[in-house]
Structure formats: structure tokens, C-alpha cells
Structure 1
């Protein structure tokens, strides 16, 4: 009976014991049980218990200053803290305090890819020892490199491990981690039988699988759900139930949705984000899409758009794809400005398909998506190569085509969804500025004008971390391009090959001299389409219209 399940927050959290492994749902603040997280920490501060916890999340239940980051802000100041001994978090970039604790070797920190961790919950819920996949081969996730450990104490303790396996002469990776003793999840409404809905949440994420993982044999644990509402028995439509009653032990009602139960970082609740309402597309909504304020970024995004429209023309259908952070996010805006949005069915990692994907602290949700599916199922689209393409950002690229998207010596953000998307997509278009640092780059009359170049080289001999393996992509037969405002490279068996340069620049002075290695140069080196290098977008639209008309798509 629910009278035994809906309890006070301290009564529910009292089942967590010292040393437990606690799984917590949350992609940023969406599906994050923020009230449970903060109250658990308050219990520790008041009593010293529970302590020595190991936390596992499908992503990171936090944004700066909220959720788990608020906890880590205080833990960072306490050199003697023993609340958390370690974490497995695919992305820690939204928690500056956790990144500092990682670099200072204060707790064990492991970072598998989001899709890998999301799958892992489903696998251990099924009684399997871990997740078997090719994702991570040749990258920092490979045990021959870091094995997913983000600092030295993690490499030493090996609470979470990645093992290399040979199956029928092929290399595979087995990801393992301790199974959860307790799961903290979040939903919208629970009825008096204990059935949980997620009707006002931005997506389903991995909530069901996290609950299942905690309940699996041989040591079934406890599941605590944070909710907004309690409904009478038999009043919730059957198809709205996401987590059935037998999987939930306790439910805690969030006392303040604004403080503890936000649909995303900026929104308390919004039926357009939860898929309850499909808003009419307007210029006001489209204005939420990130727009490039530098023509350099618009050029690279435009070259990606050309590549996707060529692919749509080749396949003669709208494309199913994914756009990552950085320059790729501008592709969606550009497609909308030029009238090609209907040819791109874009996805967001935790589950939304279509709509207007939000960014920053709201990343993960979309306004008026056409569909929302569970996160493990979305990552099947990526890892299985079901999508047609992906465009992802980069920080560093080496001569073998390996990519580091975000790691620096002073920033350990975690890989996020990058390893699974880039390893699985049949076609990946990496996009970014050719150099970093202060620059002044313009374009006009069909030519690129470099007035001042960035002083930081991004094409390097050595990478801080390899997160995408070029050699593995070649072995798997992937089509990989590296697109910048002045040059386009293709991945070959020999590594990087320069295949296009911008009009108006010198290949030796402006490209090769600004790299730490000399790439192979195509015998038929082409010029990037001149339509990219005008201040207005009309030439680009005319160029793409021609591609689509020839294919009968316009």
C-alpha cells in the first residue's frame, strides 16, 4: 500500500548505509532527484552518516551550483570529508568542484561514455556481468591506456574496470562497475499503488533501468523516487506508467518544484519540453537556437550543412542525425534560416527526436519534439549506426585522425556522449575552428580573409586524451571528415588527408604551417565552395538549392 511507500525524506533515505553504492538518475537537472540528493547530504553533515558512498549516474545530476555540484562545492572545502569515496560519471563538466577534486586526486573518478553507462544499467539489471562493446577501443577508455579512470587514485583502486577481450579474433571491451545498493530516481506522479509516471519530465532518460539495476539479483536493493504529485489508485492511464509499483520502495514528495524539481536548468516546468504540447514553430522559438556571432563559425557550420544536404540528395530522404556542442549546434540554426529543417530529423542523447534542442544548462531537452524515447534506446541509434550522420566538435586532432573534443591539462570534463556517437555513426563530420586563441577572420566576395590568426594549434602530434580513434574508424569503414573554416580533411588508412582549402588563402602558409604535423595532400586538392565566403546567406542557399533540385528533394 502506498501509505507505506510515501514517507518523509529522512525515513526514505535512512535505508542508505555506510559504504553503499548509490545510483542517481539525472542528465543535468532533468530527471535529477535534487531534493533527495541535498537531503542526503544534510543527513551526512548532521550525523556523519551515511558515509563512504560510491555514486553512479547515467550522466551527471547537476548544473553549476545545483544538485550534486552544490554538494561537491562544500565537499571541496572539507579536506577531511568522507561522504563520497568515488563516482562513475560520464560527464562532470557541469561541476567545477568535482573537476577540481578529480585533478587533485581527492576521490576516485571514472568516466565511461553516457551511452555505455546507460547500457550498463540495463545489462546488470538483466544479471549480466557488465557491458560488452567495441566503443572505446583505441581511446582513453581502452585498458591499455586509462581504462576510463580520470585520475591516479582511480587507476590504483580500479573500483570500475574496463577489460580487453578477444572474441572470435576481434577485440571487445567489457565495462564493469559495482551494482547499486540503492537507486534515487525521479518521476512526476505516483499513484496509491506505487506506479510512477514521467509525464512532466523532459525525457525518460535511464530512470527505469536504474531502478531495475538496483532491484536485480543476487542482492536486491532499495529504490527511492522523488515525485511532484500523489494520485489515487487506478487514476493513472496504464500507458503513462514508466516505472511499475513493484520496483519502487519509497516515494518522497518534493516540497518545492522551483527549488528541487525543475524540468531543466532554466525551466521549472513546460509542456512543450515534456512532449505534452507541440507548439507552433515561430520565429520566437527558432530564436532559441544558438546563432554564430563569428563568420568563421558560420563558414564551418555551412560546410557541414552542405555535406548533410549532399547526403540527403544521395539517399533521397530526410536525414536521421545528431549535432554535438560547439560549431555543430549552428547547423540546426542555419538549416532553419535557409529552409531545410524538414530534411534533418535531429536527436538529443537522452531521448528527444526533432523539435528545437536547447543548449547550455538546458541541454538534453527539446521544445516540441516529435518523439521521446528512453536514453539507452537512443544510444542504440548511435552505436548501431542507425543514424545517417553525426557532426561533433573538436579541440585537438592528430595525424592519425584521433580526436580530443574537450580535455585539457586543467579540465577533465568527461567524454559525455561523444565516444558512442562518434564510434557508431557511419558518417561523422567533426567541425571546429582551425586554430584557437584570439583571431580576426572575415569573408567576403567568395574569399576567406585572415587578418589575425589564433595562436593555439589544434592539429597536434600528441593529444591530451584520445576520445575518438581514427585507426578504429578506418578499420570499421567509417566516412570521417574534419571541417574547419579554411580546410577540410578526410580520414584515410594513412591518416589525415587535406582535400579542400578555402579560396583566398595559401595552403602552405595558412594551413600546413599552422599544424604540428604535415598531412597528406590530395593530388586533386579542391577549393571549398565559394558560396560559404559571403557576408549574406543567399549564395549558400542557391548552392544547396541546386543540390536538392537535382535530387528531386526541392
Structure 2
């Protein structure tokens, strides 16, 4: 026993590193570095910070190609904070390329991409997470139908999001034909180093994530690094060190032999999410009670009207199936559907999931998107996207920037904005029913709700229903081929995908069809019959009162 203890102590001395610079300096120039992170969830903020400071001090490592399962940061934190410093200092040598599903939290990084500092690419979160798992299994990449006839298709941009990316094609998407069916194969260079994050490491390097808001893709990234032919180095940031053998084996997310080095992070670089340090109801330690008295009614505005209209579609699904329904909520307005679910007390019947892996509870939004208060289950990101891409869920509500006359949706890129696809492409491809949710116009608007009617005081000057979208994130052709029920829900009108385009179904009370809808579109929608009025309950401050309808549907 004494000999074993000495060996463990010796291994711990090698793995647990006090000065991260000694380990980060092992990363050579021109390396491909993977970083875990779903926003601030599982983002190794301390390691990212120290890596860039090492570059400032020594000029190395430089020319790094960075890959992440989502984006390791949030506004002012993690990679965004570093990107701001890089942009201000004009350190063009630090980053040599990027492959991220999401760039939306970092204006500085988006500027660098648009200004062609390096080649940049964007995959769906699901494709990215699967890619880590596939490469870790020794396979060349991800084979899927996700992305066909969208900007990801190699017949178009092939996931490159700037001119350097289109020219270099360091990250590739291949069009494959199998028995007469088209598929896409996503490939990218294998990383040699990974910066990971966990909560606790024991003396052998076993990692647990008990205080994190989700599991993310941490294990799969670690597996990718250790896969053949070139086994790389995994560096993990943790809050604490435990005695070897003291972590429950079922709580070990990454086995110690996969972890080369462990660095203890100061608490300020290891927040659970963007706006808070730690909440046990987010990590799954407790599920807080939700009493009617504790429910805060969200102010009635045009965004809530959209969320309520989506909720009524989910109620119809619950009535149709007579059971709980499983739903994905995207970023932006769709995420606010969670507030409506809690307000109406139906969050246990309409089960809300988000890409990070959470099930149930109240999903948060903004920079905290991915964290949920009181989830009853949390999966890894690849396992969560199996639910989405495989159509195991019942429906999804996703945001949009533009919709065109063919029903194509642009969700992630404009000339002046580059948020990235996020989970959108894989969810849109797999979900049996999709409720696209967004504001009818963009820009400076004043919209009021009085006496159950919507009034446009000042409309936005940016048209969102256009003849042709800037980039295709979801193909109307694929929606029609799959015969999906797809609705486009706004505060003033509801459309559905039809074979010939999109059909106008409903308008809000108080809205003038010609002035407020048709004159604000670049094309004329299909109008077969006079549009119905949207459900009056949506436009009053009081609760819609759908709880009783939902319970009755389950009883039947």
C-alpha cells in the first residue's frame, strides 16, 4: 500500500500543474487546438486567458487553428475577451483559422473573420459534436444529410464563412452518393491539443463535472485528441483536486488516463454560466419548487406574443398525442417560450430541451442560454443531437433572420452580422415539426398591444420576408421533400410552408393586411382564403389559461 501511495503521489506531481505556462508552452506554433465550451458552460476560461498571455509574453504559440464544440465564452468573457485584446493589439499572428458553430457572442472575432485575418468555418453544433465522436472512433468525419441545399453544401459555400475559407478549404464538406441518395461528409484536420474543463480531478486525473451546468462534449474532445494516428495532449481546468478513488466511478466523465495535465483554476475564471458563479438548481443538485405565487408574469410585448403563439402549437401537439411532448427551443425569441411554459404551468407536460443537453426545468436565454433551472435530465451534446437529428423529439421552435418566397430560412449570417449556425441546421433537418419564430420586420420599431389588438406605431425598416435569402440555413426544398409541418410565426402573421412557397394563414387583430403585412414583404405570399385572426387570448396581459386544456388532453 505504501508503494502504491508513492506511485500515485508521483503521478499526481506530474499531472497536477501549478503553473499553467509550463504546460501551455508545450503547444508549438501552427498547432490545431480544440476547446470545450457551450458559451461559458464547460469553457476553460482560465486556460484560454493564460494561453494568450503566454503568447503576449513570448510570441508563442502562434498561428493556432482553433476548434470548439460551440463557442468557449460569452460577451466579455472567455474567448470573446481574448478576441477583443487580439483585435485591439492587432495580433494577427495568434489565430490562423477557426471552426466554430457560433460566433455570435464575439463582435471582435466576427470582425476578424469579415476582415479576412484567417480562414473561418462554421458547422452546426450537432455536426461538430458528432465530428469529435467520429474522429475519436477513427472515422474520417460525419456522414449526414444535414446541410443539403444549404450554405453548407459544397455546391455552395461548403461551411466556409469568409473568402479565405472558400479559397483554402482546409475544412471540407464532400457530396457523397449512396444508392442514389445524397449525403454530406464533413471533414476537418484532427487537433493535437485540447483545453478542457471539469469541476473536480482526482490525483490520477479522473474528471467529474458535478458543478457544471451540462456535460457538453468534453469526453468526446478528449477521445479525439487521444485517437490514432497522432495522439495528442489533453489539458484540463478544474476547481479542485480530490483523493484518488474518492470520485464515484459513475460520476467520472473523462477517465484519468486520457488526461495529461490538470490545472486548478481561480474561481473567477470558472463560473457556471455567463451571469452567475454557481447555482445548485442549474447543476442538477436540486430541482426547486415552482409555486403559482413564485411565477413572474413576463411583460406582454410583441416578443411574448410570438412565444405564446408557438406555445399554442405545442398545446395542439399535446392534444394530438395525449402525452408529454418533447420540444427543442432555439436561441432568441424561441427561448422565451420557456417563460410562457412556466407562466402557464405546463412545463412538466411540454418538455423543453436545449442543445446543451438539458431536459425540463426553465431554460435560460441570452448569454446564459444552455443552462436550465431545475432540469430533470442532462445529456451530453452528441446524445442530445441524436434526439434532434433523428427526429426523436416532437417539434422544434427556431429563430430566423430572413425567410424567402421558397420557404428557405436564413438563421445565421448577414453581410454585417455573423452569429453562426449554432444548432439550427441539424435541428431543422431532423425535427418532425418546426415552428420558426421571429419578428416580422427588424430595425427600430414601436409596437403596442391594447384591448386585445396589435398596433404598429412605427415599423422596422429592415424587411425579413425577402425574395431570396442571403444564405440558406434551412432549405425549403428539403422541407417539402420531407413533407414537414413548418410554420413561420411572427407577432402579426402566421405562414405555413406550402409546395409552391409560403401560405398566409393568420393575422393579428388590429393589423391591416395590405399596410402592415403585404407592403412589408418583398414577395406576395400564397393567400387561398381570408386569413383567420390569431387566438385572442395571446393579446391580453392575463394568462392564457391553457393548463386545464393540457391536463385534460393527458387524461384522455
Q: How many residues align?
A: 545
Q: CA deviation at 1:219?
A: 0.7
- Does residue 51 of structure 2 align to residue 40 of structure 1? yes
Distance across 2 between alignment mates of 1:340 and 1:549? 9
Q: Which residue of 1 aligns with 2:99?
A: 88
TM normalised by structure 1 equals 0.94
Q: Deviations over 1:177-206 (max 9, x none)?
A: 100101111111111222111111111100
Give the match's secondary structure for 1:342: coil
SS at match of 1:200: coil
Does the 8 A contact of 1:313 with 1:553 survive in 2?
Answer: no
Q: Which residue of 211, 220, 225 corresponds with 2:231?
A: 220
The DSSP-based 3-state class of the residue aligned with 1:265 is coil
Paired with 1:285 and 1:59, the residues of 2 have a C-alpha distance of 33
Query: What's the offset of the Cα at 1:532?
Result: 2.5
Query: Which whole-Å CA distance do the structure 2 matches of 1:205 and 1:285 have between them?
Result: 30
Deviations 1:402-449 (A, max 9, x none): 112242211111111111111111111111222223333334444433
Partner secondary structure for residue 520 of structure 1: coil
2:9 is aligned with 1:5? no
1:498 maps onto 2:507 in alignment = no
- In the TM superposition, residue 531 of structure 1 has moved relative to its aligned partner by 2.7
Matching residue within 384, 403, 406 for 1:400: 406
CA distance 1:313–1:54, change in 2 (3 Å): same
Output the CA distance in 2 between the equivalents of 1:191 and 1:545.
Answer: 47
Aligned to 1:328, the other structure's residue is in SS state: helix
- 2:460 alignment partner, one of 446, 454, 466: 454
- Structure 1 position 18 matched with structure 2 position 20: no
What residue is the counterpart of 1:478 in the other structure?
484
Match of 2:426 in 1: 420
Aligned runs of 1:149-228 on 2, under 5 Å? 149-228=160-239
For 1:259-298, list aligned pairs within 5 A.
260-282=269-291, 286-287=295-296, 291-292=298-299, 294=301, 296-298=302-304
Equivalent residue of 2:465, what SS?
Answer: coil
Q: Does 1:72 align with 2:83?
A: yes
The list of structure 1 runs, each at least 4 consecutive aligned residues, that deviate by more than 6 angstroms after superposition, is none
Cα separation, 2, equivalents of 1:369 and 1:382: 18
2:450 and 2:134 map into 1 onto residues whose CA distance is: 54
Question: Do the aligned residues in 1 keep the contact of 2:331 with 2:369 (CA within 8 Å)?
Answer: no
Shift of 1:326: 2.6
* Further displaced range: 480-489 or 7-16: 7-16
The 3 A distance-change label for structure 1 pair 104 and 39 is: same
Residue 110 of structure 1 pairs with residue 115 of structure 2 = no
Is 1:115–1:420's contact at 8 Å kept on the other side of the alignment? Answer: yes
Match of 1:551 in 2: 553
Structure 2 CA distance for partners of 1:283 and 1:187, relative to 1, 3 Å:
farther
**Given that residues 410 and 472 in structure 2 are in contact (C-alpha distance below 8 angstroms), is that contact kept between their aligned partners in structure 1?**
yes
Which secondary structure does the structure 1 equivalent of 2:50 belong to? helix
- Select between 36-45 and 212-221 the one with higher mean Cα deviation: 36-45
Q: How many Å separate the matches in 2 of 1:309 and 1:191?
A: 47
Q: CA deviation at 1:293?
A: 5.1
Instruction: String of CA shifts for 1:155-177, please: whole Å, max 9, x gaps.
Output: 11111111111111111111111
1:80 and 1:548 map into 2 onto residues whose CA distance is 56
The answer (yes or no) to whether the contact 2:306–2:490 under 8 Å persists in 1 is yes
Note if 1:536 corresponds to 2:541: yes
Deviation at 1:474, TM superposition (A): 1.2
Q: Once the 2 structures are TM-superposed, how far is the Cα of residue 92 of structure 1 from its aligned partner?
A: 0.9
Q: Secondary structure, in 3 states, of the residue corresponding to 1:401?
A: coil
Q: Are 2:389 and 2:427, in contact at CA under 8 Å, matched by a contact in 1?
A: yes
What TM-score do you get using the length of structure 2 for normalisation? 0.94
Equivalence for 1:385: 391
Superposition deviation, residue 91 in structure 1? 0.4
Gaps of 5+ in 2: 1-10
Write the deviation string for residues 456-501 of structure 1: whole angstroms up to 9, x where unpaired.
2110012222111111111122110011122211101111111222
Q: Is the 8 A contact 1:286 1:356 kept in 2?
A: no
1:43-102 per-position Cα deviation (integer Å, ceiling 9, x unaligned) = 211111111111100011111222112221122134453111011011011111101101
Whether the aligned pair in 2 keeps the contact of 1:310 and 1:547 (CA below 8 Å) is no
1:335 positional shift: 2.3
- Across the aligned residues of Structure 1 and Structure 2, the Cα RMSD in angstroms comes to 1.9
Q: Return the offset for 1:292.
A: 4.7
Q: Is the 8 A contact 1:12 1:252 kept in 2?
A: no
